[in-house]
Amino acid sequence: MQDNLQGEAPGRQIKRPLHIADASVDDKGRLKVPVDFAEYLESFGGKTLFITTLDERIGLIYPESKWESNMDKLWQSDDLDAAKTTDLDAKAYGGRAEIGEAGRTLLPANFRKTLGIEPKKTQVFLNCLEGCVQVFTEQVYDEIRTENRMKRAGAHAHLSKIGFIH
């Protein structure tokens, strides 16, 4: 499903970017977020983000409002153990951040360490999902693409069945 969200400007539609972006992390640990990704994140209501990982492999950048909404749903579910685990892990591996000038956002030190992101050395890739941006190191991105190659035949059969591809 394609996100169509009201941005801060009345009547302006912000669409989820449909490409993988390569990005860099500067010597201070700031991620340079591409303009279209920053606009998408900001369309949820501001520049405040929550950055974390839940699997110690893939980074997640959420608009703070979206993260809080997801956590509210989790705390209201019948699995409080999952809520406690997710809440603690998310805080242990990440934290709040702001999209600053020129689209830079400081990645929490514990987030960078967990994912193996070294400032000025590690290239990262960004993928936009519904309401968040995934962050992959080059190694993880390559691993995921290899995993996807193995799943592709089944996925194409399903896409064909639902009329997505012919």
Q: Tens of pLDDT along 39-78?
A: 999 999 889 999 999 999 999 999 999 999 999 999 999 9
Q: What is the pLDDT of residue 163?
A: 85
Q: Where are the domains of the chain?
A: 4-137
Angle at which helices 64-76 and 80-93 pack, to 10 degrees? 150
Residue 132 β-bridge partners:
129
108-160 per-position pLDDT tens digit: 999 999 999 998 898 999 999 988 999 999 999 999 999 988 888 777 788 88
With 70 as the cut, is the pLDDT of residue 8 above it?
A: no
**20 contacts 36 by C-beta, under 8 angstroms:** no
pTM of the complete model: 0.85
With 70 as the cut, is the pLDDT of residue 86 above it?
A: yes
Fold of the domain built from segment(s) 4-137:
Chemotaxis protein chec (3.40.1550)
How far from the centroid of its chain's Cα atoms is residue 69's Cα?
Answer: 15
Q: Which long-range contacts (CB under 8 A, 24 or more apart) does 127-130 make?
A: 127/20, 128/16, 128/17, 128/18, 128/37, 128/40, 129/16, 130/1, 130/3, 130/16
Tell me the average pLDDT of the chain: 89
**34 contacts 52 by C-beta, under 8 angstroms:** no
Structure tokens at 108: 């929490």
Structure tokens at 81: 């153990």
**99 contacts 46 by C-beta, under 8 angstroms:** no
Q: What is the pLDDT of residue 12?
A: 53
Q: What is the pLDDT of residue 5?
A: 44
What's at 141, amino acid-wise?
Y
With 70 as the cut, is the pLDDT of residue 21 above it?
A: yes
Nearest-angstrom CA–CA distance, 129 and 87: 21
Nearest-angstrom CA–CA distance, 130 and 110: 25
